[in-house]
Amino acid sequence: MQFDFNTYTKEYIDNEAIKKFASKANEIKKKFETNLKELKWFQMSEYVDNAELKEIKELAVHLKETTDVLLVVGIGGSYMGTQAILSAMLPYFKKTQPEIIFVGTSLSSEYYYDLMKYLKEKRVSINVISKSGNTMETITAYELLMKMMHKKYTKKELKQRIYVTTNIHQGKLLEEAKKNGYRTFFIPDDIGGRYSILTSVSLFPLAVAGIDIIEFLKGAKEGRMYLNYASIYAMVRTILYERERVIEAFTVYEPKLYYFTEWLKQLFAESEGKDCKGILPISVVNPRDLHSLGQFIQDGNPCLFETNLYVDTCRTVTLEKYHEPMHDIEHLVLEKVCEAHTMSGSPSNIITLDSINEYHLGEACMFFMMSAAISAYLTDVNPFDQPGVETYKELIAQNLRVLK
C-alpha cells in the first residue's frame, strides 16, 4: 500500500496541528502492543485457528458440490465485510458456484416474494450470522427461509445445509443449532461486527465463493506494519474534522470497490459517531459521481474532504484515440479531480492498493480497522460499542410485542 496525506492536504495540515495530536496518537499506538481484549482483532493469533480454517475449506468444497445458492443471512457487520471482499474479487459478469446471496438486509416483502420464487428449483444452503442470536432483521429472514427449507429437505439433510455463526455461550441461534445438530462457527466475545471480517463471519462464505482466505489473512497480518500510517491518517482526519470538515467522502475509481466503501461507512460511522462527535462517511464512485456529487464537492458547502482508494495495477484496454491505456487515463482523472477539488477547498487523501487480490485486500482491511480505532480514541469515544443502534431495536421490540 502507498499513502499520500500531503500533496492535496498540505494547505490544511500544519505542524502545530500535528504536534497537538502526535503525543496522544503515540500513546494510542501503544495499546496495540498490549493484549487489550477490545483489540483482539489486531492480535490475529488469538482467534484464527488453523484447525477451523481447514474445516472451513473442506466444507467449502462440500457446498460447491451440493449447493446452487448459499444464503448468507445477516445484517451490518455480519455481511458487509464479506460482500465488500466478494464484490472486489469477482469478475464483473460471472457468478460464483454456488451463488452467494445476502439476505436479511431489508424487510421488503417484494424482495422475499421474488427470492422464494427464485429459490424454488435451487439446491439451497444457509449460513445465518448473528452474534447476539436475536437480531430482529436476521431472525425474521431466517425464520421465513427455514419454513421453505423444511419443505424442501428432511431433518437429516438440513444438518448438511444449515450453518450457524453466533455467540459461543448463549442465544436463540445457538440453542437451535445444538437442538438440531447444525454446524456452528463462533464469533469471539470481544470482537464486534464491524471488526469481524477476519473471523469465520466472513471466512466461511468467502471460502465457499472460492476466495483464498489464507492469502486474505496473510495480507491482514502483514497489514499491521502500517500502524504508523494508520495513526497519521487518523490524525489528518481529526485535524480536518476540527476545521469543520465533518464529512469524509470515501472515493473509488474502480466500481468493484463500491461495497468496500460501504463497509468503510459502517466501520467509521459506528466507531466514531457517538457523544455528538464524529465524521460522517459517504461513498463516491468516480467518474460516475463527478456528474452528481462532484458539483457539490467542487462548489458547495466546504464541509468535507475526500479519501481516495485507488488501484495501481489492473487489467486494461488501450484507447486508440489517445494511444493510452484506459487505466492511465483513469489515473490522470484522479489527479486532476484531486487538484480541482483542492483548489475549491476540498482536500484529498490518496491511498493506493498495489492491485486487487486477497492479500492486498487483507492489508487494506487491517489498515482501515486500525485507522478507525485510532480515530475514535483521538476524539475520546469508545470505538467498539454502538449504543445508538440499541435504541431503535428496543423501540421496535416493544411495538412488536404489542402487535403480537
290-302 b/e (C-beta count within 10 Å ≥ 16 → b)? beebbeebeeeee
State the Cα angle at 199 between 95 and 170, rounded to 5°: 115
The pLDDT of residue 285 is 97
Q: What CATH number should be reported for the domain whose range is 2-31+218-385? A: 3.40.50.10490
27 CA to centre of own chain: 27
Task: Read off the pLDDT of each residue in 132-145 and give the average, rounded to a whole number.
Answer: 91
Q: pTM (2 decimals)? A: 0.94
Task: Read off the pLDDT of each residue in 160-180 and give the average, rounded to a whole number.
Answer: 93
Residues of the chain within CATH 3.40.50.10490 domain(s) are 2-31+218-385, 44-211
Whether the pLDDT of residue 87 is over 70: the answer is yes
Residue 323: exposure state from Cβ atoms within 10 A (0-12, 13-18, ≥19) = exposed
The pLDDT of residue 401 is 62
The pLDDT of residue 389 is 79
Report the chain's mean pLDDT, rounded to a whole number: 93
The pLDDT of residue 323 is 78
Q: Which residues are catalytic?
A: 270, 291, 393
The pLDDT of residue 226 is 98
Task: Read off the pLDDT of each residue in 183-199 and give the average, rounded to a whole number.
Answer: 92
Query: Cβ of 127: how many Cβ atoms within 10 Å?
Result: 28
CATH fold for domain 44-211:
Rossmann fold (3.40.50)
* Side chain identity, residue 388: G
Whether the pLDDT of residue 245 is over 90: the answer is yes
The pLDDT of residue 310 is 97
Residue 237: exposure state from Cβ atoms within 10 A (0-12, 13-18, ≥19) = buried
The pLDDT of residue 322 is 77
For the stretch 332-359, pLDDT in tens is: 999 999 999 999 999 999 999 999 999 9
The pLDDT of residue 238 is 96
For the stretch 88-108, pLDDT in tens is: 999 999 888 999 999 999 999
Whether the pLDDT of residue 117 is over 80: the answer is yes
For the stretch 199-233, pLDDT in tens is: 999 999 999 999 999 999 999 999 999 999 999 99
The pLDDT of residue 397 is 77
| 3-class state of residue 14 by DSSP | coil
For the stretch 31-84, pLDDT in tens is: 998 888 889 999 987 777 889 999 999 999 999 999 999 999 999 999 999 999
Residue 314: exposure state from Cβ atoms within 10 A (0-12, 13-18, ≥19) = middle
To 10 degrees, the CA torsion angle through 174, 191, 89, 356? -170
The pLDDT of residue 402 is 55
Whether the pLDDT of residue 190 is over 90: the answer is no
* Side chain identity, residue 324: E
Q: Where are the beta strands (DSSP E) in 68-193?
A: 69-73, 99-103, 124-130, 162-166, 183-186
The pLDDT of residue 82 is 97
